[in-house]
Structure formats: structure tokens, C-alpha cells
């Protein structure tokens, strides 16, 4: 039931764009996105609750395709500060926390 | 508010010893979660509290693990008779009520069992 993230790792130059995908074999109620820098706690980026919902702030946005049970995170004009490991977390049923699973992460490295 | 606080940051213990970790959530958050994270993996759910009630516990969680949240404030996670396989980062998170809230994680306690 753990969602599958792709790619596993990405190397970018500053200013380039990236897409990280998160796919589940189960129907989804919500998708969370987090970023974790080395040795630090995961930081909440956004939650998507409805199929087809797109959210974003600054140059980071995400979409949720409920039918395909997929979500994608879009990083535009990447900055050095975007480096870290990105995790999606998926919830199949609201408030069923035993069923909240994180993917294994996508490591993003932005170089000058 | 200073966010979610966890203590200690690091713990090295000998196999067979008991350890206890503490988590202080954001004061207005009534939901508290414990997760475990190993290298290269995403966080794995351990248990969940709403106020002082422990409402969910992972079926994969050994009975050597126990958690409490007295009075719905801070929480403790105890591991008895530690094993080398318990070595991991233990993360605490809290969240508010409602469907649009993500989790605020603490910096974690890194446990090393030798």
C-alpha cells in the first residue's frame, strides 16, 4: 500500500524545472507532500484533498488525479534551497491513520 | 510557538535496555503521531493520539513499544528490551483539527542500539 514515487533521484541546475510523481494502487482520499533536508524533520508543503485539485505556493505546485490515483509535484525555476528529499503521503480513508503511508522519497539535488 | 520539540536528539543504548523519548507538540494541536524512519525510507506510522486517547496503533508495532499522552499534552514513547533492529529515527508530529492540515514534525530522536 506504500505509494510509489518516481524518479528516485534528480539532479538539476538552478533555474531548471522538475516533476516528482506519486502513484498508489489504492483509491485515495488525500495526498500530502513534504520536503526533508538532511538531518532535519520533514516539512509540510501542501495537502490535496479533491480529485483534480491543484495547489501551489511560490514556484512549487501539485496536482491530484483521483481517477489515476496519482499526484505530481512541480518545481519550477528551481533554487538551491529546493534541495532535499521529497515525500508524498497518501491517505485512503479520512482519519484512518493506520492507512496513511509515505513513499520512499525522491532525492532532489539542485546545483549552482 | 516553537514547533514540535523532541528529546533527546540522540540516544545510544545497549541491547536489552529500555529507552523513553519525549515529544512536546504545538500547544493548540490536539492530534499527535509517532513515526519511525530508517535510512532512505519514508516515515512509517507507529501510533496516533487525539487528545489523551490513543486511537490508532500500527499492527506491525511490537508489544515492546508503548506510548502515552497524559492530559493530552506531551507524549512519551517507550521501547522495552531494545533490539538492534529498533535503531532508527523516531519522529513525532502534531496536527490541528480539520481536513486541510498537514503534519508538523519534530526534529526526531535518533536511536542507536549497540
- pLDDT at position A98: 58
- B39-92: pLDDT as tens digits: 889 999 999 998 888 888 888 788 999 999 998 899 999 999 999 999 999 999
Q: What is the pLDDT of residue A68?
A: 87
Contact (CB<8Å) A2/B42: yes
Rounded Cα–Cα distance for residues B42 and B36 (Å)? 9
Selecting from B41, B103, B106 the residue whose C-beta is nearest the C-beta of A44 gives: B103
Interface test with B, best of A97, A103, A106 (most B CBs within 10 A): A97
Residues contacting residue A1 through CB under 8 Å, at least 6 positions apart: A24, A25, A26, A92, A99, A101
CA angle B67, B70, B75 (to 5 degrees): 45
Residue-wise pLDDT for A7-16, tens only, equals 999 999 999 9
Site of grid cell 530508517: B38
| Cα A9 to Cα B82: distance, rounded to the nearest angstrom | 33
Cis omega before residue A7 (within 30°)?
Answer: yes
Burial class from Cβ neighbours inside 10 Å (0-12, 13-18, 19+) for residue B10 reads: exposed
Q: How far apart are alpha carbons B7 and A105 in whole angstroms?
A: 25
Query: CB–CB of A30 and B33 under 8 A?
Result: no
Higher pLDDT pick, B20 / A54: B20
- Contact list, A48 vs chain B (CB under 8 Å): none
> pLDDT value at position B84?
96
Mean of pLDDT over chain B: 91
Digit-by-digit pLDDT tens for chain A (112 residues) are 789 999 999 999 999 999 999 999 888 888 999 999 988 889 999 988 866 677 777 789 999 988 889 999 999 999 999 999 999 998 877 666 656 789 999 999 999 9
- The neighbour count for residue B61, using CB atoms within 10 Å, is 16
Please state, in angstroms and rounded to a whole number, the distance separating the CA atoms of residues A85 and B69.
30
Amino acid at each position: 500500500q506504500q505509494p510509489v514515487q518516481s524518479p528516485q533521484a534528480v539532479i538539476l541546475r538552478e533555474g531548471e524545472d522538475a516533476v516528482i510523481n506519486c502513484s498508489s494502487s489504492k483509491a485515495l482520499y488525500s495526498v500530502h507532500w513534504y520536503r526533508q533536508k538532511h538531518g532535519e524533520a520533514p516539512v509540510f508543503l501542501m495537502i490535496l484533498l479533491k480529485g483534480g485539485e491543484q495547489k501551489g505556493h511560490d514556484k512549487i505546485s501539485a496536482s491530484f488525479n483521483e481517477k489515476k490515483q496519482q499526484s505530481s509535484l512541480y518545481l519550477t525555476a528551481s533554487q538551491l534551497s529546493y534541495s532535499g528529499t521529497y515525500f508524498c503521503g497518501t491517505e485512503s480513508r479520512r482519519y484512518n491513520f493506520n492507512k496513511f503511508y509515505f513513499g520512499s522519497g525522491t532525492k532532489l539535488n539542485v546545483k549552482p | 510557538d516553537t514547533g514540535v520539540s523532541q528529546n533527546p536528539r540522540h540516544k545510544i543504548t545497549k541491547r536489552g535496555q529500555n529507552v523513553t523519548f519525549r515529544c512536546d507538540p504545538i500547544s493548540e494541536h490536539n492530534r499527535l503521531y509517532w513515526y519511525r524512519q530508517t535510512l532512505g525510507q519514508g516515515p512509517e506510522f507507529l501510533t496516533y493520539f487525539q487528545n489523551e486517547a490513543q486511537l490508532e496503533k500500527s499492527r506491525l508495532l511490537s508489544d515492546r513499544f508503548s506510548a502515552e499522552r497524559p492530559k493530552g499534552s506531551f507524549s512519551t514513547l517507550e521501547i522495552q528490551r531494545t533490539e538492534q533492529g529498533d535503531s532508527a529515527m523516531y519522529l513525532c508530529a502534531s496536527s490541528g483539527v480539520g481536513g486541510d492540515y498537514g503534519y508538523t514534525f519534530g526534529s526526531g530522536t535518533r536511536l542507536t542500539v549497540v
